Amino acid sequence: MHYPYQIKNLAEYHAAYQRSIEDPAAFWASVAEHFTWRKKWDTTLEWNFNEPDVKWFQGGKLNITENCLDRHLEKLGNQPAIIWEPNAPDEQPRVITYKKLHEKVCQFTQVLKNNGVKKGDRVCLYMGMIPELAIAVLACARMGAIHSVVFGGFSAQSISDRLQDAGAEFIVTCDGAFRGGKDIPLKNIIDDALIGNQTIKKVIVCTRTRTPVSMIKGRDVWWEDEMKQVEEQGITYVEAEEMDAEDPLFILYTSGSTGKPKGVVHTCGGYMVYANYTFVNVFQYQPGQIHFCTADIGWITGHTYITYGPLSAGATTLIFEGIPTYPNAGRFWDIIDKHRVNIFYTAPTAIRSLMAFGNAPLEGKDLSTLEVLGTVGEPINEEAWHWYHEQVGKKRCPIVDTWWQTETGGCLISNLAGVTPEKPSWATLPMPGVQLLLVDENGNEKLAEGDETISGNLCIKAPWPSILRTTYGDHERCRINYFATYPGLYFTGDGALRDKDGFYRITGRVDDVLNVSGHRIGTAEVENAINMHAGVVESAVVGFPHPVKGQAIYAFIIYQGSHQQNTHGSDDLIKSDILQTVTRVIGAIAKPDKIQLVSGLPKTRSGKIMRRILRKIAEGETDNLGDTTTLLDPGVVEEIMNGKL
Ligand code: WTA
């Protein structure tokens, strides 16, 4: 494939950026024309951030899978679309060509139809990292069903909440998923999520681990049986549904500052164009290269840069089922060596955890095929950046530091590999079409005087094609969360610095959202989960710096002595019960690293918890707690400080 919109040098970047700002509609129309549309759009862009109401390529008709599959068949039919590397290194990898992937997606589209799925229905995908997950995603897109992938680490309760919020009637899952030495019983977790559920009509179960599962008559069917039936009918092609550019493509739940995760909605046309554009430009993808993004398809990174971005560009995407440290800390390097990987994209957490094993796991691994490295999900510290650059990239490979969010659909700030300058721990320059500004708490734009570096809350002035359109079922929530803090602007929730060159450095969330190992978790969400434990009176959760995870969770909890504590319990038992509760309610990813039982929390006279103080205590910065005179009971602070873990 040829990408006429691929930026080749710094001057081209500046020119593209300029054009994109002067006339966004013309700029994006010139990119979008290189895709397959059944009918060309009438209006490129209409928008109003106050509602918010954003429409790209209105009147355009397309199906994203025709862009990810059909249009490649003639030239790339026999090229690998997916290389799958299993959890255990002694199991055989699988290679799926574009032709084969197209056929499988068509067949599974038929399976969905046979099971009663209709255009616009919501389908929940709760699967491990196997090619069938990508096939299920694409089959939903092909028939116009809205997929909602739920990461395999979420609990039954979380799944149940998401099913209800999305009004999903269909689930595709696996018997289990291999993750390192563990076997996660996905179908059993789904069964727990479905206790008492009256709305789910069908659960399609794909075989992976042979974990024993209970199959309920009339509701549960096997993926393999359903596919066999379609294959036996000789079906290898199913026509793609014609979608409006603004029809929803998927819902992906993400944490915010309130207790309940939000279903971020992306639509077909704009998301496709932007996913592809950023994939081709940020990574500077060249035809034939092998792209390895280590994210899970359950997160936005896996949607955009394992699935839709690479496949729409006719790339070869590597899907890895396992974890970086199984069976040992050389696993990623073995995969790069074995599959001759050219582009490697991972999270700073993974880099830091592998760095801790020293350089021995890299010895004897041939990493000479690597050309581009990338990071995503959290700020990367300079030490980790240099280790990545020297030990993995052998000082030959540019590192792209890509800043973006579930809500943005694709990268908004990043250097373009080898094309625009890189600067360790800085995400650097905005992508074409992305108009950034920094504001103070009152929403006033901050502007630099001379060469100074300024800091502020990161906002965006105008829409790019893959901006979220709404939060599912609750448009007002979308407005309040993203567009009401600073009227007329999209507020990212992040703080940032901007230097004299216009480079941006993301400093982290300024709202009540934590970023633990690159996973977004709302403090209110964790507090809600903790508060569900019978003995908990009240809790307050804050983040603190962690050498590997970036941020970790510190919970201050008021616990009322119960039977267990008074008779044979201990603080340790109480704490493990609380951890168990969080695991049940959200999933193990939200477990606090530290729990401190306290008798009171610092509150203002109006009853508001002073998180600023707790954050400082958790960070170990107890010398400078700021003003505590407005506290209802200043004594409580001392007590908490004395008991600090
Ligand atoms: C953070 C992940 C610094 C940021 C794609 C953002 C980053 C949140 C970077 C979104 C980066 C993401 N440098 N921070 N390169 N990339 N973040 O929705 O705080 O899971 O708001 O999307 O991750 O997380 P999400």
Residue 406 in contact with ligand 1 by CB distance below 6 A = yes
The strand ranges marked E within 175-286 are 177-179, 182-184, 202-206, 220-222, 243-244, 248-254, 262-267
Q: What is the pLDDT of residue 633?
A: 84
Asked if pLDDT for residue 615 goes beyond 80, the answer is yes
Q: Please check the confidence at residue 61 and state whether its pLDDT lies above 80.
A: yes
Please give the distance, rounded to the nearest whole angstrom, from the Cα atom of residue 404 to the centre of ligand 1. 5
**Predicted pLDDT of residue 190:** 98
Higher local confidence (pLDDT), 471 or 626: 471
Q: Is the pLDDT of residue 13 over 90?
A: yes
| 427 Cα nearest atom in ligand 1 | 15
Confidence of residue 533 (pLDDT cuts 50, 70, 90): very high
For the stretch 151-167, pLDDT in tens is: 999 999 999 999 999 99
Q: pLDDT at position 122, please?
A: 98
Contact 274, 465 (CB under 8 A): yes
Tell me how far the alpha carbon of residue 2 lies from the centroid of ligand 1, in angstroms. 30
HSE of 198 in the Cβ direction (CA atoms, 13 Å)?
0
Average pLDDT over residues 454-463: 98
* Cβ pair 574, 558 in contact under 8 A: no
565 pLDDT higher than 70: no
Evaluate: CB of 254 within 6 angstroms of ligand 1. yes
The whole-number average pLDDT for the span 483-509 is 97
DSSP assignment of 475-542, as one string? Answer: HHHHIIIIITTTTTSEEEEEEEEE-TT--EEEEEESSSEEEETTEEEEHHHHHHHHHTSTTEEEEEEE
- Which CATH number does 515-642 carry? 3.30.300.30
Count CB-CB contacts under 10 A for residue 218: 7
pLDDT recorded at residue 65: 99
Which tokens hold the place of 40? 């060309």
* pLDDT tens-digit series, residues 107-121: 999 999 999 999 999
Q: Is the CB of 284 under 6 A from ligand 1?
A: no
The residue assigned the tokens 């009256």 is: 198
**If you take atom 22 of ligand 1, which residue's CA is the nearest one?**
405
Residue 644's pLDDT band, with cuts at 50, 70 and 90, is confident
Per-residue pLDDT band at 623 (split at 50, 70, 90): confident
Nearest CA to ligand 1 atom 10: 405
CB atoms within 10 A of CB 33: 13
Spatial contact of 556 and 599, defined as CB atoms under 8 Å apart:
no
**Residue 431 CB less than 6 A away from ligand 1:** no
Atom of ligand 1 nearest to the CA of 380: 13
Asked if the model's pLDDT at residue 564 lies above 60, the reply is no
pLDDT of 563 reads 55
What's the confidence (pLDDT) of residue 571? 87
- Please tell me the pTM assigned to this model: 0.96
Q: Quick one: average pLDDT of 597-614?
A: 91
For the chain, the average pLDDT equals 96
Distance in angstroms (rounded) separating the CA atoms of residues 27 and 12: 13
Question: Which of 86, 162, 77 has the alpha carbon at shortest distance from 125?
Answer: 162
Tell me the angle at which helices 186-193 and 156-166 cross, rounded to the nearest 10 degrees.
Answer: 60
Q: Taking residues 234-250, what's their average pLDDT?
A: 98
What is the token pair recorded at 427?
A: 């995400």
| pLDDT of amino acid 621 | 84
pLDDT at 645: 81
Atom of ligand 1 nearest to the CA of 407: 18
Averaged pLDDT for residues 63-68? 98
Q: Is residue 529 scored above 80 in pLDDT?
A: yes
Ligand 1 mean position, distance from CA 513 (Å): 11
Residues 370-399, mean pLDDT to the nearest whole number: 97
> Which residue type is seen at 254?
T
**Residues 225, 28: Cα–Cα separation, whole Å:** 44
Q: Ligand 1 pocket check: which of 415, 520, 521, 549 to mutate, most ligand atoms within 8 Å of Cβ?
A: 520
A 10 A CB-CB count for 639 gives: 13
Answer yes or no: is pLDDT of 512 > 80. Answer: yes
Strand partners, 458: 438
Compute the average pLDDT of residues 376-389.
97
Model confidence band, residue 568 (pLDDT cutoffs 50, 70, 90): low
Predicted pLDDT at 630: 79
pLDDT at 461: 97
Tokens of 459: 């906002």
Atom of ligand 1 nearest to the CA of 414: 15
**CB 553, CB 590: distance < 8 Å:** yes
End-to-end CA separation in angstroms for the chain: 56
With a cut of 90, say whether residue 258 has pLDDT above it.
no
- Stated as kind and residue range, the H or E segment containing 65 is helix 64-68
Percent of the chain with pLDDT strictly greater than 90:
91
Give the confidence band of 606 by pLDDT, cuts at 50, 70, 90.
Answer: confident
* Residue 379 Cα to ligand 1 middle (Å): 8
Asked whether 550 lines ligand 1 (CB < 6 A), one says no
Distance CA 197, CA 216 (A): 13
Distances from the Cα of 434 to the Cαs of 20, 410, 428, 478, 568, in angstroms? 8, 11, 13, 20, 59
Q: How far is the CA of 403 from the centre of ligand 1 (A)?
A: 6
Confidence class of residue 87 from pLDDT cuts 50, 70 and 90? very high
pLDDT above 70 as % of the chain:
99
Q: Find out whether the peptide bond into 52 is cis, omega within 30 degrees of 0.
A: yes
Q: What is the pLDDT of residues 395-439, one digit of tens each?
A: 999 999 999 999 999 999 999 999 999 999 999 999 999 999 999
Whole-number Å distance, alpha carbon 159 to ligand 1 midpoint, is 23
Mutate to test the pocket of ligand 1, among 266, 494, 507, 512 (most ligand atoms within 8 A of CB): 494
